[in-house]
C-alpha cells in the first residue's frame, strides 16, 4: 500500500472520531477546513498524485475520491445531527427556552442634534440642501469673498488634494451652489461634515459638523436674522435662554456678528464653562456681503439676505453636558448608550 492511501485511511479514522464528538457547527467547519479546505489534507494529497507510479495510479485515485466523498458524508451527517437537536450527549434542544434578545441600536448624539436642528429650522420655513465634501477653491473660498491672503487658505489650515481640490472647511459652499442654480428667494439650511487642520483637544477636532442657514429675499434685515436665532435658541434650550449679537468680521457677511447663548450651565451667572462671563459663543452670522451676491449672479440692489453657521458638536456638548468633544468619536458603547 502506498503512502497516499495510508494517509487517506488514517484521515478517515480521524474524521469519524471527530465527527462523532462535535457539539457545534464551528467544530464541524474546522473538520472541513482541516481535511477538505484549500490548505487541508486532501488538496495537499492531490498535489502528491503526480509522483504515483502508473501501476498504482488507478487504485490511488479511487481511494482518493472515495475518501474525500466519505469525509464529506461524515461532515453532512454531523451537521444533520446537530440540526436535529442531538448534541454530543444526545440531549435535545429545549424549544421552550426564550430566544436571545438582540440589542437595538440608536442614533449617535451628533445625528440626534443635527436632526433636531433641521426640524427646528424646517418649522421656520427652511429646506435642507446638501453639497459635496470634496470642494473646489472657487466654491469654498473665492465665491465667498475670501481674500487670497486669508489664513484659512493656507495648507496649514486646510486639507488640499494634489489636483488642487480640498476637503471643505465649512458648509457655506452649499449656499453658493444653491444660489447658482436657483433664483431668489432662497431659504435653506445645510447640515454636514467639514474638515480643518486643527489640533484635536477638548473643544476642537479635524473633522466636525456644522449646520448653516441662508435666507435671500427682498427687504431682509438684521432684525430678521436676530428673530430666527432667538427662536432657535428657545426651541433648542428652553424659554429661559437669551442671546446676544456681538460685532465681528467674516469675509462673506457685512455686517457680521458673533452669536452667543446665555450659559445654560449657570443661567448666566458665571461659571468655568462660560469663563465666568455668563455667555457661550455658538455661531457666526451676518448679512450676506453684496460681493457674494454678485458672484452668484444676484443683484444686491434688489436682493438681500442673512447667513449663519454653528457647530453641531458645540450644541451637543451643551445639551448633554459633555466635557470633551473627543468622547463623541471614541465609539465607546458605555458612553454612547446613554443617549
Residue 102 in any domain: the answer is no
- pLDDT(91) > 60: no
Residues 58-86 as b/e (b if ≥16 CB within 10 A, e otherwise) read: eebeebbeebbeebeebbeebbebbeeee
Same domain, 323 and 197: yes
Residue 98 in any domain: the answer is no
> What integer best gives the mean pLDDT of the chain?
88
Winning range, highest mean pLDDT, from 61-70, 151-160, 298-307, 328-337: 298-307
Residue 93 in any domain: the answer is no
pLDDT of residue 90: 47
Q: Are 315 and 117 in contact (CB under 8 A)?
A: yes
Winning range, highest mean pLDDT, from 40-44, 192-196, 274-278, 319-323: 192-196
In the chain, how many domains are there? 2
User: Residue 308: beta bridge partners?
Assistant: 213, 285
Residue 94 in any domain: the answer is no
Same domain, 226 and 166: yes
Same domain, 51 and 198: no
Residue 328 in any domain: the answer is yes
Report field, pTM of the whole predicted structure over 0.85:
no
Range scoring the smallest mean pLDDT among 193-202, 213-222, 231-240, 259-268: 259-268
Same domain, 123 and 72: no
Q: Are 16 and 31 in contact (CB under 8 A)?
A: no
pLDDT of residue 88: 47
pLDDT of residue 22: 86
Q: How far does the chain reach from its first CA to its final CA, in angstroms?
A: 70
pLDDT digits (tens, 9 = 90+) for 112-136: 999 999 999 999 999 999 999 999 9
Same domain, 56 and 130: no
Range scoring the smallest mean pLDDT among 82-86, 124-128, 149-153: 82-86
More confident call, 333 vs 286? 286
- pLDDT(1) > 60: no
Half-sphere exposure at residue 148, Cβ-oriented, CA atoms within 13 angstroms: 0
Residue 327 in any domain: the answer is yes
Same domain, 187 and 73: no
- pLDDT(31) > 70: yes
Same domain, 307 and 206: yes
**CATH number of the domain enclosing 317:** 3.30.930.10
The boundaries of the domain holding residue 55 are 3-83
Residue 96 in any domain: the answer is no
pLDDT of residue 139: 94
Same domain, 152 and 26: no
Instruction: For residue 88, give every residue at least 6 positions away whose Cβ sits within 8 Å of its Cβ, in sequence order, or none.
Output: 21, 22, 23
pLDDT of residue 337: 84
Amino acid at each position: 500500500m502506498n503512502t497516499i492511501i495510508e494517509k487517506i485511511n488514517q484521515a478517515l479514522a480521524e474524521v469519524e472520531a471527530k465527527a462523532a464528538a462535535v457539539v457545534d457547527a464551528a467544530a464541524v467547519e474546522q473538520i472541513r477546513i482541516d481535511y477538505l479546505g484549500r490548505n487541508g489534507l486532501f488538496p495537499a494529497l492531490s498535489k502528491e498524485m503526480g509522483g504515483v507510479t502508473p501501476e498504482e495510479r488507478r487504485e490511488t485515485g479511487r481511494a482518493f475520491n472515495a475518501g474525500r466523498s466519505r469525509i464529506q458524508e461524515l461532515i453532512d451527517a454531523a451537521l444533520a445531527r446537530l440540526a436535529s437537536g442531538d448534541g454530543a450527549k444526545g440531549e435535545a434542544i429545549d424549544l421552550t427556552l426564550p430566544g436571545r434578545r438582540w440589542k437595538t441600536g440608536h442614533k449617535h448624539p451628533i445625528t440626534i442634534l443635527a436632526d433636531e436642528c433641521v426640524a427646528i429650522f424646517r418649522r421656520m420655513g427652511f429646506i435642507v440642501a446638501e453639497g459635496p465634501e470634496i470642494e473646489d477653491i472657487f466654491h469654498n473660498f473665492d465665491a465667498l469673498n475670501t481674500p487670497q491672503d486669508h489664513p484659512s487658505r493656507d495648507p496649514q489650515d486646510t486639507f488640499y488634494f494634489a489636483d488642487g481640490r480640498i476637503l471643505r472647511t465649512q458648509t457655506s459652499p452649499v449656499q453658493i451652489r444653491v444660489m447658482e442654480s436657483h433664483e431668489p428667494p432662497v431659504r435653506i439650511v445645510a447640515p454636514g461634515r467639514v474638515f480643518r487642520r486643527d489640533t484635536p483637544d477638548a473643544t476642537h477636532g479635524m473633522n466636525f459638523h456644522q449646520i448653516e442657514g441662508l435666507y435671500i429675499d427682498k427687504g431682509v434685515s438684521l432684525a430678521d436674522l436676530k428673530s430666527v436665532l432667538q427662536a432657535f435658541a428657545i426651541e433648542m434650550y428652553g424659554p429661559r435662554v437669551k442671546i446676544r449679537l456681538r460685532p465681528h468680521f467674516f469675509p462673506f457677511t457685512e455686517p457680521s456678528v458673533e452669536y452667543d447663548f446665555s450659559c445654560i450651565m449657570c443661567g448666566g451667572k458665571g461659571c468655568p464653562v462660560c469663563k465666568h462671563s455668563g455667555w457661550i459663543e455658538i455661531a457666526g452670522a451676518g448679512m450676506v456681503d453684496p460681493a457674494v451676491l454678485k458672484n452668484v449672479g444676484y443683484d444686491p440692489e434688489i436682493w438681500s439676505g442673512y447667513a449663519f453657521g454653528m457647530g453641531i458638536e458645540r450644541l451637543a456638548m451643551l445639551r448633554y453636558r459633555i466635557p470633551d468633544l473627543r468622547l463623541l468619536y471614541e465609539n465607546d458603547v458605555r458612553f454612547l448608550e446613554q443617549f
